[in-house]
Amino acid sequence: MSTNPKFSALQVMQDAPVIPVIVLNNIAHAVPMARALVAGGIRMLEVTLRTPQALACIEAIARDVPEAVVGAGTVRTRADAQAAAMAGARFAVSPGFTPAVGQACRDVGLALLPGVATGSEIMQALEAGFTELKFFPALQAGGPAMLKAWSGPFFDVKFCPTGGVTLHNAPDFLALPNVVCVGGSWLVPADALTQGDWARITQLARATKSL
């Protein structure tokens, strides 16, 4: 398990305007991809647990790219949280929220951004002590208009909208006072990974920093 300094969910969100949502199918891509993002000013990296190689990729980034802060996305179970922490992840992102996943992340020292899409889910996360949340799937669940509506009853909650967020619509989300950052997959296009076009990933990261 990682012995690196812990980060809070808010610190993860405040580091840059965008947390890249990364899907890796080849462990050989992990380290150069992470270095390319860091070179562009993005160091909070969410590697999703959607592929068999994901945990090995997290481990490689944690070991070989110390200037990056690697996290695990698509954390759905206690076992996911435990495996992510053992691989060296320092934060977790989940597509939804259950008290069990929340407690599992606390038990292993992972900052958690739980996913919510409804007012009831926000209330459940708040009851468990989570005030920084992922709004997912953001575009499909109501977009900026939904977040504006939530700013009244959930005035004390900060959001990271993810799902359908692009370089073009990200400013609409980031302009909202209850949005700290967004999650986006556009920083690490699949074809850039396949082609080893690390300069393109660095360029996308730099463009994102100016949002």
Distance CA 115, CA 133 (A): 6
Please say whether the beta carbons of 181 and 17 come within 8 A: yes
Helix (H, G, I), strand (E, B) or coil at 68: coil
Query: Cβ neighbours of residue 89 under 8 Å, at least 6 residues apart?
Result: 2, 47, 58, 62, 70, 71, 72, 110
Running DSSP on this structure, what letter comes out for residue 25?
Answer: S
Among the listed residues 168, 114, 176, the one whose alpha carbon sits nearest the alpha carbon of residue 145: 176
Distance CA 1, CA 85 (A): 6
The angle at the Cα of 96, spanning 132 to 31, to the nearest 5 degrees, equals: 75
| Residues identified as active-site | 46, 134
Our CA dihedral for 39, 185, 165, 128, rounded to 10 degrees, sits at: -90
The angle at the Cα of 158, spanning 50 to 94, to the nearest 5 degrees, equals: 15
